[in-house]
Chains A and B, each alone.
Chain A
Amino acid sequence: MLELIVISTLNGVLFGMLLFLLSSGLTVIFSMMGVLNFAHASFYMLGAFFGYQLTKWIGFWPALVLAPLLVGAVGMAVERYGLRNTHKHGHVAELLLTFGLAFAIEEIVSMIWGKSPVDYRVPAALDFPAFTIFSTNYPAYKIFMLAISVLIFIALLIVLKRTRVGLIVEAALTHPHMVGHLGHNVGQVFMLVFGVGSALAGLAGVIAGPALVTQSDMAALLGPILFVVIVFGGLGSLPGAFIASLFIGLVQTFAVALNGSLASTFGPLDPSIGPSVLSDIWNVTIAQIAPVLPYVLLVVILIVRPMGLLGTRET
């Protein structure tokens, strides 16, 4: 039991940090531009596939740098030529544009790399067990992933809290017009933020690709969970996104690891009842309801605290 708790905590924190790499960009873009970027998870997927392809051509380490940059460039192009032209039609049009993009990117990826998972492997230099805990080998690659996400988290914190760029970004979050009046090029700030957000998503894809499955439906699987994370944490709140990412990461990882059900706790139902909704609920294991849990949390938070954990706005 202790083994399960330790391993699951490690995995949960790891998954949570990955979620934060994505949700931080998403929530900054949202609070700054009012655009909910539906294609954010698609940038994550692009990162994984670019990482896979570049690893095949030039090796993992150059790919680790190049693939996020490429994804960032794609993101900047999307902002400059897509969103900026759609802005005059309102937020719904922008949301729909990113929805269409997410759809198109998934189709393009499955067109080029196929619908089945690609063989994106952990680099040989990191393919060894880092330590053994209760007879379980914990892979070094996962520690590497954790280190990268923590590094990015610290870098993001320093940039946002300690530098001039961060100051402008934070000001543009709440008062974009005032920032414009002060002589900053808000359009360029937006493009930059969008590019950095996409690049972070791409980086998450590059490092998550070998550990998880690199497949053309990975964006569609992760996208809704990301929205849950930023609604749960409170729209536009970075600390909220951080807490929500870790929380949902832990909840999902623990749920997958647990195999209990009502039937195993309280004994099986009387078989004479036959198949019914009750017996379905009675026999389902916690691992089986893991995919549903984030959405249940979403409904609960909406009823209890509609603005999210640390959110302040009602819009």
Chain B
Amino acid sequence: MTSTVTSASDIAAKSSGQNLRFYGLWVVAAIALVALPLIFSSGGSLTSFSLIGIAIIFALSYNILLGETGLLSFGHAVHYGLGGFAAVHVMNAVTAHGWLIPLPVIPLLGGLGGLALALLIGWVMTRRAGTVFAMISLGIGELVASSSLILRSVFGGESGISTDRTALPHIFGWTFGPQIQVYYLIAFWVLVSAIAMYALTRTPLGRICNAVRDNPGRVEFIGYDPHVVRYLAYCFAGFFAGIAGGLAAINFEIANSAYLGAVQSGMVLFATFIGGASYFFGPILGAILVTYLQLGLTSVTSVWQLYFGVIFIGIVMFAPGGIAGLLMMHRPLIRARTLGMVIPSYLVAALPTLALACGVILSIETVARYTVTGGEGNIVKLLGIPFNTTAPTTWAIAAVLVVGGFIVARITWRRIAEAWDRAAGIARDRGYLA
């Protein structure tokens, strides 16, 4: 009996312990952001880190819509793009008029650009949620993207508008010419935006957003207008997307219509969903993975976008919680110390699943390079083994890997499910799984 009674001091101790862990996490994140370029100091990795940082802010802003409010948008890049154009125009104006606005403030102005557009179009868009919102966001996205090609004086037509980030007033001797200084600027904004967006999820507004996502009818019943809540969430998402766009404009020193387009909107959806929309850190994982793959795969294969599509379909069908969801599934098992029961079945399943993956990759690459003739064009190198795409043996190997891998993998997947059920059952008995 006594063990179930918790005193007030216990609760206070527990919450202060949680607070400590919580603040510790952000401090660790800040230290990691500062230390990263010291460990990986090559120019290429600095560029990658900068891109990943921008993608993180963008994906987190998208998750205010998708994860927090349940709004699936296919046109989120319009705010990113507007933020980028706002930043470029402000930077050019600052240079031309000699205003005293230093570069680190520019992303905030980009954010205001994204916010302005959200204020303008958000009211019509958020009238309804669900599929209708998805369709409208697609239409509005296309509208803004095609209008940008007509309004040449603002959007610079096909070539875009370029700027010079070093021409702005310097502070503390930082010129922002070298990539390392841009990296630290982006890292600073990543930290600030992430903290702000996390704080947003803790506010009453963030909570009511979750309620609107789960049950708009009841929200209306307790006296809130879901439309207003969705509108506010949309504006916040637009603001943070604008910050990401402003940072991108600083990083590339150009803003063009590709910033606004459907491809950009699709990528942020992929990043957020692959990472996992139901946890705050999910989009961060997704942004890191998608940007890394984007940079890494383009040099290896010409059909890298197809791999994105395949990964995305796989996640939607088999793990709708994304990577974060998969990871967090294991938390109750770790706490109940039953994780050991699942690990062996994972190891058994790993081999046929890898064979299946290799088969799929080999098939895709074989088809992609089949028509390439001459030279090394139709040689696929997989795990160091060269395959000739015109040889029938390659086709046979690919078919065996795909079909055989799938049949065997399905059996092992079923065993994972069984082992999982046993482990989860024990975890439930021990009270770690609701």
Residues of A whose CB lies within 8 Å of any CB of B are 30, 34, 36, 82, 85-86, 89, 91-93, 95-97, 99-101, 103-104, 107-108, 111-112, 114, 220, 224, 227-228, 230-231, 235, 275-277, 279-281, 284, 288-289, 291-292, 294-296, 298-299, 302-303, 306, 314-315
Contacts and interface: CB of A to CB of B under 8 A. Distances in A.
6 nearest A-B pairs in the assembled complex, by CB-CB distance: A104-B309, A295-B143, A107-B306, A100-B313, A103-B309, A100-B312
A111 B368 contact: yes
B305 to A, nearest CB: 5
Contact of B266 (A103, A281, A296): A103
Contacts of A100: 309, 312-313, 316
Contacts, number: 123
A230 B127 CA distance: 18
Contacts of A96: 72, 269, 273, 312, 316
Contacts of B377: none
Contact of B139 (A224, A277, A288): A224
Contacts of A103: 266, 305, 308-309, 312
A93 B316 CA distance: 6
B309 A107 contact: yes
Contacts of B146: 291-292, 295
Interface in B129-174: 130-132, 134-136, 138-140, 142-143, 146-147, 150-154
Contact of B138 (A224, A277, A306): A224
B367 interface: yes
A173 B128 CA distance: 21
Contacts of A231: 132, 135-136, 139
A111 B317 contact: no
Interface string B362-382: 001001100100000000000
B127 A306 contact: yes
Query: How big is the B interface, by class?
Result: 35 or more
Task: Give the residue among B140, B153, B269 with the most A Cβ atoms within 10 A.
Answer: B153
B305 A292 contact: no
Given A91-B131, A97-B313, 19 more contacts: A30-B131, A36-B131, A82-B317, A99-B266, A103-B312, A104-B306, A104-B309, A107-B303, A112-B367, A114-B371, A227-B138, A231-B135, A277-B154, A280-B151, A295-B143, A295-B146, A298-B140, A299-B140, A302-B136
B310 interface: yes
A220 B305 CA distance: 15
B143 A298 contact: yes
A105 to B, nearest CB: 8
Contacts of A95: 72, 131, 134
B262 interface: yes
A85 B313 CA distance: 12
A183 B413 CA distance: 35
Interface string B69-113: 010101000000000000000000000000000000000000000
B72 A92 contact: yes
A91 B135 CA distance: 13
Task: Give the residue among B138, B152, B154 with the most A Cβ atoms within 10 A.
Answer: B138
Interface in B40-85: 70, 72, 74
Contacts of A289: 150
A279 B273 contact: no
B37 interface: no
A220 B141 CA distance: 13
B124 interface: yes
A114 B371 CA distance: 10
B143 A299 contact: yes
A97 B150 contact: no
A164 B146 CA distance: 45
Contacts of A284: 150
B255 to A, nearest CB: 16
Contacts of A34: 131
A314 B132 CA distance: 9
Contacts of B154: 277, 280
Contacts of A228: 139
Task: Give the residue among A103, A228, A314 with the most B Cβ atoms within 10 A.
Answer: A103
B312 A36 contact: no
19 contacts: A91-B131, A93-B316, A96-B269, A96-B273, A96-B316, A99-B266, A99-B269, A103-B312, A107-B306, A108-B306, A227-B139, A228-B139, A281-B150, A284-B150, A292-B143, A295-B143, A299-B143, A314-B128, A315-B132
B404 interface: no
B142 A224 contact: yes
Contacts of A302: 124, 127, 136
Contacts of B127: 302, 306
A291 B139 CA distance: 12
A111 B143 contact: no
Contacts of A230: 135
A9 to B, nearest CB: 25
B153 A295 contact: no
A279 B317 CA distance: 50
Contacts of B367: 111-112
Nearest to A107: B306
B425 interface: no
Contacts of A314: 128
A34 B132 CA distance: 11
A111 B303 contact: yes
Contacts of B132: 231, 235, 315
A111 B72 CA distance: 29
A173 to B, nearest CB: 16
Interface in B301-360: 303, 305-306, 308-310, 312-313, 316-317, 320
Contact of A306 (B128, B142, B320): B128
Contacts of B139: 224, 227-228, 231, 294-295, 298-299
Contacts of B130: 91-92, 315
A294 B147 CA distance: 12
Contacts of B308: 103
Nearest to B312: A100
A89 B142 contact: no
Contacts of B269: 96, 99
